[in-house]
Amino acid sequence: MNAPDHIIVGSGINALVCAAMLGGKGAKVLMLERNDRIGGCMRTEEITAPGFVHDVMATTFVLFITSPAFAALGKDLARHGLEFCHTATPTGVLRPDGSHAVLSTDRAANIAALNKVASGDGDRHGNDVGGVERNAGLLFGLLGGVLWSYPTTKLLTGEAWRRGPRNLAAFLGEALAPARGWLETAYTSETIRALWAPWVLHAGLGPEDAFSGQIAKVIAFALEAAGAPIVKGGAKNLLAAFEALIKERGGVISTDADVASIILEGG
């Protein structure tokens, strides 16, 4: 490609969305990937027997299909073969002693089921995911924005005016709590704690990391609201759909293209 408008280094989910969105606006996009295939942490392999495929890294795409990017790109990706499979029971836990819990996409059913495991734990679940729902504008605005930016400042200023500075500070302070502290103080059942503890790792955080408790609540809300969709045929079909869409919009994807450095001129 001669004189691309944008060069994107890497080809993970954010890079693919970026390339597709920019291409849709008429921009010339060049994507450079140092591996022999695109996808970053999306990879499908035959690791057990011929014909049986497994997503060995990224598996469920709940945060993608609930994003503004999917709302904008979903129909075009479907034209290129992307299809998701859903289930009404997106996650669960089975412990060595046989105790277990299963989460459904029905909040009332979840509250009742978790209360059966331990009285009050279902009610706490309802309050936790309900809190994400009530604070969605602030939470997803922070998660989807640049921290030190005018839009984030505007968002926080508006929330401070609406809630009051002390209430906003209290909310943000609670949101910074680590997952271990949240689970051990909020839930009495080890089984319910075990249901949510692994999902912290899904976001690349540890159980003692700041904000990991809030991230776990966000994931709990997302699983209940949208399930845990997987790509029919494996994540490789998501990559194929993105590749086709990017090329359809005039983009160029180059693999085995390792970027050694980025040279800045004129700022």
Closest CA to 28 of 50, 48, 52, 2: 2
Cβ burial of 49 (10 Å; 0-12, 13-18, 19+) is exposed
- For 141, the token pair is 């605005």
- For the whole model, what pTM was predicted? 0.79
Q: Which residue has the tokens 């997503």?
A: 55
Full set of structural domains in the chain with CATH: 6-58+234-254 (3.50.50.60), 91-226 (no CATH)
Interior CA angle at 219 toward 214 and 224, to 5°?
130
Q: Which amino acid is at 238?
A: L
Q: How far apart are CA 150 and CA 170, in angstroms?
A: 22
Q: At a CB cut-off of 8 Å and minimum separation 6, what does 101 contact?
A: 92, 93, 113, 114, 117, 189, 191, 192, 195
pLDDT value, residue 108: 97
Q: Which residue has the tokens 């679940």?
A: 125
pLDDT value, residue 144: 79
Q: Which residue has the tokens 């009050």?
A: 120
140-146: list long-range contacts, CB under 8 Å, 24+ apart. Answer: 143/218
Half-sphere exposure of 50 (CA within 13 A, CB side): 0
pLDDT value, residue 196: 95
Q: In what order do the strands lie in the sheet with 6-9?
A: 6-9, 29-32, 252-254
Tens of pLDDT along 136-193? 999 988 887 888 899 999 999 999 999 999 999 999 999 999 999 999 999 999 999 9
pLDDT value, residue 147: 84
pLDDT value, residue 145: 84
Give the chain's residues under pLDDT 50.
none
Q: Residue 5: what are its φ and ψ, rounded to 5°?
A: -75, -35
pLDDT value, residue 69: 95
For residues 15 and 40, the answer to whether their CB atoms sit within 8 Å is yes
Closest CA to 168 of 137, 145, 209: 137
